[in-house]
Structure 1
């Protein structure tokens, strides 16, 4: 049986706190810069610790967005085994934790790796194009939020127009909205350009858009979140990730809660799928007849809507797997 040296890494903006945990539970801690030079120093330190034992190496860290991208890419290029795990999953699996500091967190991550080795899914860095698309998508969301905030301020100022001179401020806010509109169009054009320049992503997007209820934004998000449909083994796993999978809530004979979806979800893609499902129902396509039939049978409208969202997800995965556009079999 292979013995492993587990390296738990707590990632922050400027530094990495690393703890190396041996099978004997002996552990050592050291801090490095969150940079390529720091990554190289981390490997040298781990190499010295492991020089005599020759254990297999297992690295792990919490997915902290932009701050952990560089570390993941570095380990992937070196061909090393690593796990980029959801912070919520790590903390929920480690029992009661009192207090918090970076050194203790890195040890907790190392212990998580050791305890769950058989269930770990070793990762690899996403292609640069998908990482760039992810950042562009995030920028688009930020611009949308800023635009919404300025439009809200315009509404508030109009309330004061009757008693105060708000012309200058209204002019400033309207100019900001116009500027954000222009920047949104530029960002969206750049997203479309990069997808169009990559043949596989372009073809996948065309397939996704053939599914009823899937628009351009939903297709773009699916490509980013699934890393070109390589991150999730099946549509059911993605459905759970998006917060669409219903779970029972019961215990013994007294607790009999209703089956419902979890609040642990990617709310961004869930909102897009909800809008797609609602638009499809209003448009009168195949989902509308399903919605009307199920609600007539007494199903709750929101439960039927959730079922439609799951249908959309399953069909997106199906068209990619079959490499064929969606065809409605209903007359």
Structure 2
């Protein structure tokens, strides 16, 4: 059991910090930018806690930026699935839900629980992550502009401006897509992973690229279930005695980017993947809702993706044993 740990609860504009040391807490708040990271590092030195493990929830780029800053300065960092932190808080009967209390809960979690330390992905994966995230942003902006064009816009000047902007966005999208393609060509190991993923019916180039960018090294996950939890695709059940038995829902506490791309992949897999078709058909006969079926299909695809990468073998519908942790 560790004697000292730091919990960080990160939001868009700031992050709350709690240092747990010999059953007492020292707290601070910093801005979520490089100035705040620098202030945090100096605070850790001042509190003689530079050697303490820093623990934070996996909240995307907000956590990654802080983690990278600390990692580069030799500080031990762990980024934990929010579902684990939430379950731990509930086990401790924590009632208050504030950023300050969350930071303290994360620090206490780091004192008592086992977890692995975070290391940044290789430079090529970091570049891929930046490119696929930028591509998603551009496509979302194109959709917004297209919707504006279809709305009741009477000004010819405004319509011309929108059309010009859409053309520019399309050019940027084509450029980013070419850069992503070139990146895979320059790194055979990434290209091999992409081809393995694309062997799974329902998973296309976009889903494969996003999976590699967001997951990184598949070996850091001990099982497909752990990977599904990272993506927020594990079901949550609401049962109590015989009177309360609500339908299960996805936890949605995990990587939202993975869930987004796997939603579209599941829609395709329900029509083309034999395992997913079988699953969907069985759930339909059981009277499951459409969203429950899609959620289960997303989870099945994540399990299949884990299997082909772990085994380094393409998808084979005739050899189920080749797929790890499918159930």
Taking structure 2 as the reference length, the TM-score comes to: 0.77
Name the SS of the counterpart of 2:24 in structure 1. coil
Q: Does 1:235 align with 2:224?
A: yes
How many residues in Structure 1 have an aligned counterpart in Structure 2? 311
2:184–2:190 contact (8 Å) kept in structure 1: yes
1:21–1:111 contact (8 Å) kept in structure 2: no
Name the SS of the counterpart of 1:146 in structure 2. helix
How far apart in 1 are the matches of 2:167 and 2:125?
A: 29
> What corresponds to 2:301 in structure 1?
312
How far apart in 1 are the matches of 2:103 and 2:85?
A: 7
Report the Cα offset of residue 212 of structure 1: 1.0
Unaligned runs of 5+ in 2: 320-327
Equivalent residue runs for 1:1-331 within 5 Å: 4-9=3-8, 18-25=17-24, 27=26, 34=34, 38=39, 41-42=42-43, 44-47=45-48, 57-63=52-58, 65-77=60-72, 79-85=74-80, 93=89, 95-97=94-96, 105=100, 109-110=103-104, 112-127=106-121, 128-157=123-152, 164=154, 166-264=155-253, 266-283=255-272, 286-287=274-275, 290=278, 293-294=281-282, 297-300=285-288, 302=290, 303-329=292-318
> What corresponds to 1:53 in structure 2?
none
Greater gyration radius: 1
Report the Cα offset of residue 59 of structure 1: 2.0
Name the SS of the counterpart of 1:84 in structure 2. strand
1:226–1:232 contact (8 Å) kept in structure 2: no
Q: Which runs of 4+ in 1 moved over 6 A?
A: 12-17, 30-33
How far apart in 2 are the matches of 1:99 and 1:306?
A: 30
CA-based RMSD: 3.6
Distance 1:110 1:58, change over 3 A: farther
How far apart in 1 are the matches of 2:15 and 2:234?
A: 36
Distance 1:200 1:79, change over 3 A: farther
Taking structure 1 as the reference length, the TM-score comes to: 0.76
- Greater CA deviation, 61-70 or 228-237? 61-70
